[in-house]
Every structure is written in structure tokens, then in C-alpha cells.
Copies of this chain bind each other. A is one copy, B any other.
Amino acid sequence: MFDNPYGTGQTTLTAILALTNLLAAGREFCIVGYGWVGKGLARAADGLGGRVTIVEVDPVRALTAHMDGFRVAALADALPDADVVITATGLIEAVPVGALGLLKDGVVLANAGHHDREIDVPALAAAAGAPIEARRGVRTYVLDGRRLHVLVDGALVNIAGLDGNPIEIMDLSFSVQALSAHHLASGAALPGLNRFPDELDALIARTKLATLGIFLDDTTDAQRSFRASWAL
């Protein structure tokens, strides 16, 4: 909930901009997927002056993107306008071979999802022939006369192209993993899938806030009593 929207959102944009030295302002970003990563990407691209179109298959997420002020479109409607396409679906073929013909000359293709198969780079390579290395981390394929710039071969662009997520956001993720291991070792977990305990989430967040010098109020007895009874 923290490393994806805040860490990956920022570092993916920073990596794309550092690798290409392009301007975000006025640029049309197509973001495929509006989960935690996609939300972070959209916020960062918008925050730097870009315009954002979201492609999403889940209707609740798509409606959220619409209400968040982003254009929502099917992939075939979104790609022809895109200056930068970023995939964040966790699935394969988020930009499938069949969609490559819709991309415009000069488009940048980058991936923020779990593996290097969201953009179908092998299919692109098969169709377009050998790319040239335009800059470090930027391979340019020419397909039907259009130049398609693929960043770090479709691998996670913030990790393969820059330094990955800041330690100060990964500390939260690592804390979840460490406390999960402790929870398991203590015998508190049941066989099967266990939900990470809310009180451990709260402990991690409270500890993090304390390191930032932020200390919270407690609910009062009167508030707890009201919450239990809903009686005014």
C-alpha cells in the first residue's frame, strides 16, 4: 500500500525521464492498469504536467480513474494518442503484439509491472528486426517506419533503469515481511492464507510516524463508548 503507489510511482517516472531526457509537461501518458502501481504512476505523471489516459479491465478501478480526473479508454482508443505507454497490470501482454500497429512514431514503452512480459518485446523484435541503442537503456525498434523506443527491454524500469525504490519506503515493506516471519515463528498463524494482522500494520505505521517526529492523538473514552453504542 505504500511502496507501490508512492515509491514505484515516483521512481518509475523518474527513471523514464532520466533514461530519455524527455519533458513530462504536455506529454500524453497511457497507463495500462490502475491498481496501486498504476495509481502512483498516474499521480506522478499528472503531478509533472503530463496528461493521463488509463486502460483498465476492472470496472470499479476504471470508474475510480475517471473520478480521479483521468481519461479512461480501451487500449485501442488510448494507444494512438500516447507519447509514453507504461504497463502496470501484473499480467502478460498488456501491450500485445496485435496492438503494436496502433503506436505512433516516437512512442516510449516502459514497464512498471512484476516481470518483463507486459510489453511483448520478443514479438516486437520478431516483427521489427534488430533495434539500435538510442541511449543507455533505450532500444529503438523501427516498425513500418515508426520508431518505438523500448526502455530496459521491458524489465521493471525503476529497478533496471535506476536504483529502484527508496529505502525509506521499502522499510515499510521489509517490516511487514519481518513481522510476518515473526508471526509465523511465534505459531500464531493458521495453515493456509493468513491476513496480515491489522495491529502489526498499525505498529509499523506508528513506528514510522515516530521516526518522522509525528505523534498521534488517541481516541477518547467518550469516543470509544460512542463507537460501541452509536448512542448520542
Contact of A232 among B49, B117, B208, B209 (CB under 8 A): B117
Q: Which of B55, B205, B220 is within 8 Å of A217, CB to CB?
A: B55
On whether the beta carbons of A92 and B214 are closer than 8 Å, the reply is: no
Are the C-beta atoms of A91 and B219 separated by less than 8 Å?
A: yes
A72 at interface by CB-CB < 8 Å: yes
What distance in Å separates the Cβ of A169 from its nearest Cβ neighbour in chain B?
Answer: 5
Q: Give CA–CA (A58, B218) in the complex, Å.
A: 8
Does A216 touch B at the CB level, under 8 Å? Answer: yes
- Provide the residues of chain B in CB contact with A206, threshold 8 Å: 59
B47–A49 CB distance below 8 A: yes
Within 8 A of B (CB), among A33-55: 43-44, 46-51, 55
Residues of B within 8 A of A11 (CB): 17, 21
- Chain A contributes a number of interface residues (CB within 8 A of B) equal to 77
User: Out of B49, B164, B222, which one reaches A92, CB within 8 Å?
Assistant: B222
Residues in B with CB closer than 8 Å to A51 are: 69-71
In angstroms, Cα B28 to Cα A71, docked, is 10
Given the interface pairs A17-B10, A69-B46, A206-B59, the reply to whether A232 lies near B23 with Cβ below 8 Å is: no
Provide the A164-177 mask, 1 if CB < 8 A to any CB of B, else 0.
10111100000000
Q: Is A182 an interface residue (CB 8 A)?
A: no
A48, B47: Cβ atoms closer than 8 Å? yes
Cβ of A163 within 8 Å of any chain B Cβ, yes or no, is yes
Task: Check A93–B223 contact: CB distance below 8 A.
Answer: yes
Cα A156 to Cα B166 with chains together (Å): 23
Q: In this assembly, does A133 line the interface, its C-beta being within 8 Å of a C-beta of chain B?
A: no
Of A60-68, A144-152, A186-194, the one with at least 4 CB within 8 A of chain B: A60-68
Is A24 among interface residues, defined by CB-CB distance under 8 A? Answer: yes
